[in-house]
């Protein structure tokens, strides 16, 4: 008899995907986020600086990576502290406090995600279904139910190439 490892992949702590580092840990702002929204998110990934935090070790498809890369750019572009140092904490601070800012930043991430899906998928029904799902997320509990589903749909479509 011997043990079978055929369905066990070796678990890596850090992975690189297209220059993006993925770590299987909670992000530095996890507790702030829980407190701000009064939730304990599961199956969520977070961008903090140039890393994607993936505490639940989810498989990340390319469109999710692209969504998170939008937040990387946003965090870099948005602000430097008094010492002129980049810190993702400033972006995150505003993100958690300012609902309008949060929705605006997320809509851009979702629009990019939708673009990636549409690049390879020309089926109108499948695109519509995917967009419906994205709008559900953007208008949902993860972002504190700030906007309606139809508002979310409009925002994503306006920012998308498709
Ligand atoms: Zn996002």
Please give the distance, rounded to the nearest whole angstrom, from the Cα atom of residue 18 to the centre of ligand 1: 18
In angstroms, what is the span from residue 69 Cα to ligand 1's centroid?
A: 9
Strands 20-23, 14-17: pairing is antiparallel
Residues lining ion ligand 1 (Cβ < 5 A) are 106, 109
User: Does residue 81 fall inside a structural domain?
Assistant: yes
Q: What percent of the chain has pLDDT over 90?
A: 70
Q: How far is the CA of 150 from the centre of ligand 1 (A)?
A: 18
Alpha carbon of 15 to ligand 1 centroid (Å): 20
Give per-residue pLDDT as tens, 22-53: 999 999 999 999 998 888 888 999 999 999 99
59-64 average pLDDT score:
93
Cα 11 to ligand 1 centre (Å): 26
Strands (E), 45-123: 46-48, 51-53
Ligand 1 centroid vs 2 CA: distance in angstroms?
45
Write down the residue that tokens 């939008």 correspond to.
70
| Number of domains within the chain | 1
pLDDT 10s digits, 137-158: 999 988 888 999 999 999 999 9
State the distance from the centre of ligand 1 to the C-alpha of 92, rounded, in angstroms: 11
What do you get for the CA distance between the two ends of the chain, in Å?
Answer: 56
pLDDT value at position 12? 43
Residue 27 lies in a domain: no
Tell me whether residue 73 is in a domain.
yes
Task: Find the 103 Cα to ligand 1 centroid distance in Å.
Answer: 9
Specify if 85 maps to a domain. yes
Q: In what order do the strands lie in the sheet with 46-48?
A: 14-17, 20-23, 51-53, 46-48
Cα of 81 vs centre of ligand 1, distance in Å, is: 23
Q: Can you give the pLDDT at residue 7?
A: 39
pLDDT in tens, 119-141: 999 999 999 999 999 999 999 98
pLDDT at 10: 39
pLDDT digits (tens, 9 = 90+) for 64-118: 999 999 999 999 887 666 676 778 988 999 999 999 999 999 999 999 999 999 9
Tell me if 36 is assigned to some domain: no
Domain range enclosing 106: 2-14+61-159
């Amino acid at each position: 008899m011997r043990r079978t490892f055929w369905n066990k992949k070796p678990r890596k702590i850090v992975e690189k995907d297209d220059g993006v580092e993925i770590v299987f840990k909670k992000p530095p702002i996890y507790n702030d986020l829980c407190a701000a929204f009064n939730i304990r998110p599961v199956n969520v990934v977070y961008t903090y600086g140039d890393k994607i935090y993936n505490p639940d070790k989810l498989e990340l498809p390319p469109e999710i990576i692209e969504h998170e890369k939008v937040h990387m750019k946003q965090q870099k572009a948005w602000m430097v502290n008094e010492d002129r140092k980049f810190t993702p904490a400033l972006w995150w601070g505003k993100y958690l406090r300012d609902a309008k800012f949060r929705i605006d930043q997320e809509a851009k991430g979702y629009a990019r995600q939708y673009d990636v899906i549409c690049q390879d998928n020309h089926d109108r029904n499948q695109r519509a279904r995917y967009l419906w799902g994205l709008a559900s997320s953007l208008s949902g509990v993860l972002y504190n139910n700030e906007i309606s589903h139809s508002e979310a749909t409009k925002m994503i479509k306006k920012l998308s190439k498709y």
